[in-house]
Amino acid sequence: MRRIQALLTLGLFFISCKQEVKDTVASNTTLTASTLALDNGKGILNNTNSPHVKFKSIDFGECQWTEGFWAEKFKTAETKMIPYMRSLLTGDKGHALNNFKIAAGLKEGEHKGMHWHDGDFYKFMEAIMYVYGQNKDENLRKEIDDYILIIGKAQKENGYLQTQIQLYADRKPYENRKYHEMYNSGHLLTSACIHYRITGQTNFLDIAIKHADLMYSLFMTDDSRYGRFGFNQTQIMGLVELYRTTKNKKYLDLAEQFINNRGKYEVKETPETKGYPIGDMVQERTPLRESDEAVGHAVLALYYYAGAADVYAETGEQALIDALDKLWMNVALKKMYVTGAVGQAHYGASTNRDKIEEGFINEYMMPNTTAYNETCANICNSMFSYRMLGLHGESKYADVMETVLYNSALSGINIEGDRYYYANPLRTVHGSRDYDKMNTEFPVRQDYLECFCCPPNLVRTIAQVSGWAYSKSENGIAVNLYGGNKLATTLNDGSSLKLKQETKYPWEGDVEITIEACRSDAFDILLRIPEWAEGSKIMINGKESEILATPGTYATLNRTWKANDTIRLDLPLAINFIEGHGRIEEVRNQVAIKRGPVVYCLESVDLPAESSILDVYIKGDTKQLKSDFHPDFLGGVSTISGEVLLRKEHNTDDAMYQKIEHPEWTTFKTTFIPYFTWSNRSNEETEMSVFLPVVWEQK
Ligand SMILES: [Zn+2]
């Protein structure tokens, strides 16, 4: 380690890398945020001036949760998730801040954590900033300033900043894409832009600009060594946000370059790709503009598509949006679980016969027990959908965001906010998983994950949902997500709008919106009618409206609004059975229970001790199922109770196939819980299933 320190001190470490890196140093040092006319948009995506966006982000902080589901989740993020994560990442166990301190020369030691650990720390910082954006706790802003100081000291003079490279004597910058430099860079740029938007400070942004300028000098060249370098490509999203903040088009050009390069080069093993699968695994087999099937690692794919959607928002290139439309449809209609989760397999292959890890496999091939469904992938699915919502202004994208948020995102963290899951299967059965051979699947929730990408991704998402709740439409405001909140924003024409939303959604389906202040001439209020919400009704000022509340659309309420006008939306929360497409063999003759946006599951703690989840059959009658809200159970949820059939004898033979005769049955009254709350009531592995076989009664 001492040798590494010495190399760093002498600056020899970087000089030994490629010539282009050295050449950029002088030109990078002069450009800082203070010399630029920065854009003052404050959205999570600053698409205020993006020409091809229909639904624009509200400024972060304009929507504040006041009561109900998201207010409570935000509070848990503020009071438990972030403090706990802080103790991990700034301490020796998580070691993320230590890595920066060591690189900065402020501490002795070695790098610990995955190659992407820096990026995960930037995500944690982003989560803190979203909380600061809501509660304005100055201690949080100062905390971030302290981190920025350390990160700035860790950054090399030429802008390079990657502790997983800097702290190893035998690693050189941009030598092998498996070291996740692009991923760390992307989160650095995004986090710095969010920091500027929420605090108005440029100290983090200066670090990001210096870093992005180095990237530009290398990756805008035609050097084929860098042609396939993008790997987990969050840098595309980060560069577009940096373009939006600084208005410097070079960052948009570089973002586009990463898309243009993908699929351009021969897919073969090279020194730059060694150590990780190639081809479809990293979406380099087919150029994006020619793609119509989501392939490869699900997180890599969806960050890539999300970045491409950001580029389209600025360029309006038809070929790009045509491909993104096809890819979104492919994911949502052929590769997504009922929970919104994606990435069906830990190990598998693409239809082009490339090896795949943690990713997409065949269409409609949807295993339950071995489903991978990394929390990050599910979140990325909603991030991609949020961008597509912006581009098209269609409710189906917000439907996917909502499905992910209430189900396969929140399932990644326990109710208390300090235990995590990386994989999110739809069924667990004792003995069906060989945990010795698994590195990210666990029988119970974990207090720390060596691969820490998911926890900060989830916490920043929970902290930022208020920024997704509304969008500015062309002539008004769109309500994307329901929850008790207050909104004070400025519409596209510059007029101010204040309203409040009161609801117990998703446990109850009535939503009341009261206008508090608005412009005097007519404008639109768009209400998302979820695709499941048949029979929804809209009332304006106590009178039933003739405006159609068609499921799967935004209902457009255009009129002259005034203070104290009220809108009441009734979304019927029926308990529904959901079945899969006929091509999904894994759920044939099975149903899942869904009420509103919430998918339910059955967990073995709600079964007799001797029963297995495999013994349970659902009675084919939703009328005998009943929903009840329990304020003190699992953080406050509606459960569904009803009778199930239990098969008395079950297969205990090791034979793969065996004869069966008519089994005996008992009836058992049980409780279904929201899927996201499973694995919260036992310190041991429980069995759980979303889909269960159904016994229909003849009518
Ligand atoms: Zn992850």
pLDDT exceeds 70 at position 7: no
Residue 376 Cα to ligand 1 middle (Å): 4
DSSP-based three-state secondary structure for 652: coil
| Residue 412 identity | G
| Structure token digits, residue 425 | 């299967």
CA of 453 to the centre of ligand 1 (A): 4
Cα(631) to centroid of ligand 1, in Å? Answer: 31
User: DSSP assignment, residue 698?
Assistant: P
For residue 557, give the H/E element and its range: strand 553-559
Query: What pLDDT shows up at residue 651?
Result: 67
Q: What is the mean pLDDT of residues 214-218?
A: 97
pLDDT (average), residues 236-261 = 97
In the predicted model, what is the mean pLDDT of the chain?
94
60-103 pLDDT, tens digit each: 999 999 999 999 999 999 999 999 999 999 999 999 999 999 99
Please tell me the predicted confidence (pLDDT) of residue 438: 83
Mind giving me the DSSP string for 392-459? H--HHHHHHHHHIIIIIIGGGB-SSSS-B-S---SEE-TTSS-GGG-SS--SS-BS--SS-SHHHHHH
Q: How far apart (Å, rounded) are the C-alpha atoms in residues 642 and 625?
A: 5
How many Å lie between the centroid of ligand 1 and the Cα of residue 440?
Answer: 10
* CA–centroid distance, residue 371 to ligand 1 (Å): 15
Beta bridge partners of 673: 601
CA of 520 to the centre of ligand 1 (A): 47
Site of tokens 């351009």: 264
Tokens of 506: 């998703």
For residue 253, how far is its CA from the centre of ligand 1 (angstroms)?
28
Give the Å distance between the CA of 299 and the centre of ligand 1: 8
How confident is the model over 142-158, as a mean pLDDT?
98
Dist. CA 663–CA 649, nearest whole Å: 7
CA 631 to chain CA centroid, Å, is 27
Placement of tokens 């909502």 in the chain: 402
Going from the Cα of 413 to the center of ligand 1, the distance in angstroms, rounded, reads 12
Neighbours of ion ligand 1 (CB under 5 A): 374, 376, 453-454
**23/32 Cα distance (integer angstroms):** 19
User: Torsion angle, CA of 71/74/79/81, rounded to 10 degrees?
Assistant: 150
* pLDDT for res 222: 83
| Phi–psi pair at 645, nearest 5 degrees | -100, 135
**How far is it, in rounded angstroms, from Cα 380 to Cα 395?**
18
Residue 58 has what DSSP assignment? P
C-alpha of residue 458 to centroid of ligand 1, in Å: 9
Q: Are 78 and 60 in contact (CB under 8 A)?
A: no
Contact 485, 66 (CB under 8 A): yes
**Helix locations, 292-367, DSSP H:** 298-315, 318-334
CA angle 193, 467, 90 (to 5 degrees): 55
Q: Which two tokens stand for residue 345?
A: 């397999």
Task: Answer yes or no: is pLDDT of 133 > 70.
Answer: yes
Q: How far apart are CA 204 and CA 148, in angstroms?
A: 6
- Residue 377 CA, ligand 1 centroid: distance in Å: 7
Mean pLDDT of 501-530: 98
14 pLDDT above the threshold of 50: no
List the one residue out of 556, 429, 594, 562 whose CA is nearest residue 498: 562
Nearest CA-CA partner of 606 in 669, 690, 684, 693: 669
Residue 15 has pLDDT above 60, yes or no: no
- Ligand 1 centroid from CA 593, angstroms: 27
CA of 456 relative to ligand 1 center, distance in Å: 9
Ligand 1 center–CA 461 separation, angstroms? 13
Q: How far is the CA of 455 from the centre of ligand 1 (A)?
A: 7
User: Which tokens sit at 489?
Assistant: 């924003």
Q: What does the radius of gyration of the chain's CA atoms come to, in whole angstroms?
A: 25
Q: With 0-12 CB in 10 A as exposed, 13-18 as middle and 19+ as buried, what is 693?
A: middle
The rounded Å distance from CA 408 to ligand 1 centre is 12
What's the average model confidence in pLDDT over 265-277? 92
How many angstroms is it from 374 CA to the middle of ligand 1?
A: 6
98 touches 28 (CB < 8 A): no
Tell me how far the alpha carbon of residue 207 lies from the centroid of ligand 1, in angstroms.
Answer: 25
pLDDT of amino acid 649: 77
Q: 18: CA distance to ligand 1 center in Å?
A: 31
Residue 17 has pLDDT above 70, yes or no: no
Residue type for position 612:
S
122 alpha carbon to ligand 1 midpoint, in Å?
14
Nearest to 201, CA basis, from 144, 157, 251, 240: 144
Q: How far is the CA of 451 from the centre of ligand 1 (A)?
A: 7
121 Cα: distance to centroid of ligand 1 (angstroms):
13
Cα–ligand 1 centroid distance for 141 (angstroms) = 26
pLDDT at 506 exceeding the cut of 70: yes
Distance from residue 177's CA to the centre of ligand 1 (Å): 18
Q: How far is the CA of 291 from the centre of ligand 1 (A)?
A: 24
Q: Please give the distance, rounded to the nearest whole angstrom, from the Cα atom of residue 646 to the centre of ligand 1.
A: 36
Distance 687 CA to ligand 1 centre (A): 23
Rounded-to-integer distance, Cα 217 and Cα 20, Å: 7
Mean predicted confidence (pLDDT) in 123-134: 98
Distance 378 CA to ligand 1 centre (A): 9
Average pLDDT over residues 486-493: 97
Q: Ligand 1 center to residue 311 CA distance, Å?
A: 24
The residue among 571 and 26 whose pLDDT is bigger is: 571
In three-state secondary structure terms, 5 is helix
Mean pLDDT of 324-344: 98
Q: What is the total residue count of the chain?
A: 699
Tokens 């590494």 identify what position? 4
CA 373 to centroid of ligand 1, rounded, Å: 10
Per residue in 422-470, pLDDT (tens digit) is 999 999 999 888 888 888 889 999 999 999 999 999 999 999 999 999 9
Which sign does the torsion angle of CA 319, 324, 329, 334 carry? positive
Report residue 404 CA to chain centroid gap.
Answer: 8
pLDDT tens digits for range 588-646: 999 999 999 999 999 999 999 989 999 999 999 999 999 999 999 999 999 999 999 99
Section 400-404 average pLDDT: 98
Amino acid 558: pLDDT:
97
pLDDT at 28: 43
Distance 422 CA to ligand 1 centre (A): 6
pTM: 0.95
- Specify the pLDDT at position 31: 65
CA of 427 to the centre of ligand 1 (A): 20
Q: Is the pLDDT of residue 18 over 60?
A: no
% residues pLDDT > 90 (the chain): 88
Q: How far apart are CA 274 and CA 178, in angstroms?
A: 8
